[in-house]
Amino acid sequence: MSDLVTTLPSPSSAPRSTSDFFSDPYDSHPLWFKPSLFLSPVFDSESYISELRTFVPFDTLRSELRSHLASLNRELVDLINRDYADFVSLSTKLVDIDEAVVRMRAPLLGLREKIAAFRGSVEAALFALRSGLQQRSDAASAREVLELLLDTFHVVSKVEKLIEVLPSAPSDWQKEDGGVSLRSSVSVENSTQQDGTTMRETQSMLLERIASEMNRLKFYMTQVLLDTVSFLVLSFYISLIVLFAWYLVAKTDKSGLHVFDFLANSILKEVLSAIQKVKPGAFSPGRPTQFLKNYKASLEFLAYLEGYCPSRTAVTKFRTEAVYIEFMKQWNVGVYFSLRFQEIAGALDSALTSPSLVFIQDSDLDKRSSPNLMLRQSATLLESLRSCWKEDVLVFSAADKFLRLTLQLLSRYCVWVSSSLHTRRGNPSPSPGCDWAVSATTEDFVYVIHDVNDLVSEVCGDYLGHISRHLSSCSTEVLDVVRTSMLQGGDKLKEVLPLLTNTIIEIIVDKSVEDLRQVRGITTTYRMTNKPPPVRHSPYVVGILRHVKAFLEGDKATHYLTQETREEILLGTVTDITRRYYESADEVVSLARRTESSLQQFRRKAQKRAGAASGASDGNVSETDKMCMQLFLDAQEYGRNIAALGLKPADIPVYCSLWQCVAPADRQNTISV
């Protein structure tokens, strides 16, 4: 009954609120939620969440934390309400605190100085005590060595004295032939000394004492070498035991290591568990550089473990273990490559979407990927290509993806160049960054051609060798595929060179066509006039090829274009200009002949109506012949200008057509300029 009374609440206890009876108590939490962990000095929020996320949903954890926060707020309010009067009167009670602090500060400072002085004296005494103990230890060690030396000296002295006392055997003890030797030996054995013992017994006793003293010497030597040799002996024994154990493991078919993979299920499993608990962020590819370092370190660790496998079969079995597969799944190489893809391809895309060509300044020479590249877009491409195969970027298991990224970067650059050229011709391009070609000059395209040639040399040369060195451990078939792919990428770059060359030709031809418009002025010059036949070429002929000559003799073309490219531009430009020239001349000649034919018919009809007989020709040169003579002189001068540029006019089919169009009948088959 007394026990029951003691368990009942006393009337004087604090009254309980209605919420204590009709609602859940504040500390009603699930078993997995322990608020006491929040007060631990080593509490880590990331580790706490990572441990709970395996069996607790995030929504449940969030609601539980919010309810716990609400309960803490309620407890704080209750605590403030309970001691509110004291809290309010705190300002009145804390009067003259500064004076009290000043009064207490002086004694405390004095106490601190006394404690510091006492601590210094204690530390000095402790240092002196330790020094004395060290000296005492050194003296004890020296004393032991000295005692050992004295004992050794006494033993050696005693052995030397015993050897001196030891009587030498008489000469007649030696074995001799005949009965004399036997009789002498018998007489010696029967002879006695003064102490009643025979000489043989005396020698035996002395030899026994010498042997005992020698054993003492050996004991001292053993004691000296024991500390030095014991560690070496132990290491030797351990190595023998390990070798013997491995021998037994290899010879025993049903040993524990054959049934239970110790490397995978013990070492690797514990390492994986420790990383997941202590450093869960090590598997996160969010920081690519740190992720790659961790990944390579894990591969080195696995290779180190595989070194303990006795055979290739054991290595294969180790790699097929569930723990090994789970460990490798933690490293999300696919996400890592995606991040690197965005980083590398994004840098190139940002450079190619620029509204204009960006030239590398002289101040940026040290920052160039290649000292020969002139455009920032080309330099960014080369930097991106090299980034794919850097040591701190490349993952060997994803080498195929990085090879594909390399080819995609080359293709993106080629598309950028070709789309820009199509935009220049008036075709809208869906990709941004192609409007630069609309206002680009021939010098700009010279820079592009120069950079493309350098990129082709780099991709098919040093860059391909760099990739081959990274993949040297692969088979010959794989290396051949890689080489073929990279050479195809170089061919893709070469395909844009004719487009760029044709664009330069179009620009020069468009400028030269302005001078060809004066060909139509020949009709006005000789139509319905009395001008004499021409004797020299027209002034416009000299300026037809001046743009070609100025371009080819300029600093940009001579410095940044190869001789082959310059010859190609020269031939293409001259051919296209000559074609335009031929079309204009043919149009003028055809129109003049049709006009002359019409006028002659009109004159004949007029003469018939007048009744006059048609007389013979007056022998004057017709207007059409004058025009053809002028065009022929212009064509001759134009041919001489072509020859001055290093080409043979007779080798240009369009020029042959122009010659046949304007030359007299007797000179149709012979081109002479």
Amino acid at 509: V
Which of 306-320, 356-370, 654-668 shows the lowest mean pLDDT across its residues? 356-370
Q: Which residues contact 100 (CB under 8 A, 6 or more apart)?
A: none
> What's the rounded Cα separation, in Å, for the pair 560 and 152?
94
Amino acid at 540: Y
Q: What is the pLDDT of residue 192?
A: 46
What crossing angle do the helices spanning 199-251 and 97-165 adopt, rounded to 10°?
Answer: 130
Q: What is the pLDDT of residue 366?
A: 46
pLDDT confidence tier of residue 195, bands split at 50, 70 and 90: very low
Q: Which residues contact 185 (CB under 8 A, 6 or more apart)?
A: 172, 173
As a whole number, mean pLDDT of residues 54-77 equals 86
> What's the rounded Cα separation, in Å, for the pair 119 and 113?
10
As a whole number, mean pLDDT of residues 464-493 equals 92
- Report how far Cα 412 is from the mean position of its chain's Cα atoms: 21
> What's the rounded Cα separation, in Å, for the pair 432 and 429?
7
Which of 68-77, 110-119, 378-387, 498-507 shows the lowest mean pLDDT across its residues? 68-77
Question: Which tokens sit at 432?
Answer: 């941004």
User: Tens digit of pLDDT for each residue in 216-261?
Assistant: 778 777 776 776 677 778 888 888 888 888 777 666 655 555 556 6
Amino acid at 127: F
User: Tens digit of pLDDT for each residue in 283-295?
Assistant: 888 888 899 999 9
What is the b/e burial string over 362-383, where b = at least 16 CB atoms within 10 angstroms of the residue's CB? eeeeeebbbeebbbbbbbbbbb
Task: Tell me which long-range contacts 418-421 makes (C-beta under 8 A, separation of at least 24).
Answer: 418/496, 418/499, 421/499, 421/500, 421/503
Query: Which of residues 527 and 355 earns the better pLDDT score?
Result: 355
Closest CA to 384 of 359, 416, 409: 409
Residue the block writes with tokens 């960006």 = 358
Closest CA to 384 of 356, 419, 364, 411: 411
> What's the rounded Cα separation, in Å, for the pair 232 and 668?
109
Q: What is the pLDDT of residue 171?
A: 38
**DSSP single-letter state for residue 265:** I
128 and 183 in contact (C-beta within 8 Å)?
A: no
What crossing angle do the helices spanning 442-459 and 462-470 adopt, rounded to 10°?
Answer: 30
As a whole number, mean pLDDT of residues 642-655 equals 90
> What's the rounded Cα separation, in Å, for the pair 328 and 322?
10
As a whole number, mean pLDDT of residues 645-660 equals 89
Q: What is the pLDDT of residue 621?
A: 64
Q: What is the pLDDT of residue 173?
A: 40
Please state the three-class secondary structure of 597-634 as a single string.
HHHHHHHHHHHHHHCCCCCCCCCCCCHHHHHHHHHHHH
Which residues pair with residue 375 across a beta bridge? 359
> What's the rounded Cα separation, in Å, for the pair 657 and 660?
5
Strand, coil or helix: 359: strand
> What's the rounded Cα separation, in Å, for the pair 628 and 623?
9
N- to C-terminal Cα separation, the chain: 142
User: Tens digit of pLDDT for each residue in 333-343?
Assistant: 888 999 999 99
Highest mean predicted confidence (pLDDT) among 255-264, 298-307, 582-591: 298-307
Average pLDDT, rounded, for the chain: 80
> What's the rounded Cα separation, in Å, for the pair 248 and 348?
61
pLDDT score of 135 more than 90: yes
Percent of the chain with pLDDT over 70: 82
pLDDT score of 619 more than 70: no
Distances 553 to 142, 243, 645 between C-alpha atoms, Å: 97, 81, 10
Closest CA to 581 of 518, 673, 526: 518
Where are the strands (E) in 43-159, listed by range? none
Q: What is the pLDDT of residue 458?
A: 92
Q: Which residues contact 358 (CB under 8 A, 6 or more apart)?
A: 351, 375, 376, 377
Phi, then psi, of 375 in degrees rounded to 5: -110, 145
Which of 87-96, 129-138, 156-165, 314-323 shows the lowest mean pLDDT across its residues? 87-96
pLDDT confidence tier of residue 385, bands split at 50, 70 and 90: very high
pLDDT score of 536 more than 50: yes
As a whole number, mean pLDDT of residues 416-445 equals 84
650 and 656 in contact (C-beta within 8 Å)?
A: yes
Q: What is the pLDDT of residue 112?
A: 92
570 and 552 in contact (C-beta within 8 Å)?
A: yes
The C-alpha R_g of the chain, in whole angstroms, comes to 55
pLDDT confidence tier of residue 364, bands split at 50, 70 and 90: low
Closest CA to 298 of 317, 314, 316, 276: 276
As a whole number, mean pLDDT of residues 160-177 equals 57
What is the b/e burial string over 575-589, where b = at least 16 CB atoms within 10 angstroms of the residue's CB? bbbbbbbbbbbbebb
Query: Which of residues 91 and 521 earns the better pLDDT score?
Result: 521
Q: What is the pLDDT of residue 7?
A: 36
Q: What is the pLDDT of residue 314?
A: 85
Q: What is the pLDDT of residue 4?
A: 36
417 and 452 in contact (C-beta within 8 Å)?
A: yes
pLDDT score of 60 more than 80: yes
As a whole number, mean pLDDT of residues 319-338 equals 89
479 and 471 in contact (C-beta within 8 Å)?
A: yes
Q: What is the pLDDT of residue 170?
A: 44
pTM for the full predicted model: 0.58
> What's the rounded Cα separation, in Å, for the pair 488 and 407?
9
pLDDT score of 406 more than 90: yes
Q: What is the pLDDT of residue 623?
A: 73
pLDDT score of 8 more than 70: no
Q: How many residues does the chain have?
A: 673
pLDDT score of 125 more than 60: yes
Q: What is the pLDDT of residue 247?
A: 75
Phi, then psi, of 234 in degrees rounded to 5: -65, -45
354 and 433 in contact (C-beta within 8 Å)?
A: yes
> What's the rounded Cα separation, in Å, for the pair 403 and 610?
91
Query: Which of residues 90 and 130 earns the better pLDDT score?
Result: 130
**DSSP single-letter state for residue 95:** -
Distances 274 to 264, 280, 292 between C-alpha atoms, Å: 14, 9, 19
What is the b/e burial string over 111-126, where b = at least 16 CB atoms within 10 angstroms of the residue's CB? eeeeeeeeeeeeeeee
Percent of residues in the chain assigned helix, strand, coil, to nearest 5:
75, 0, 25
Question: Which tokens sit at 286?
Answer: 């969010």
Residue the block writes with tokens 């103990």 = 133
pLDDT score of 499 more than 90: yes
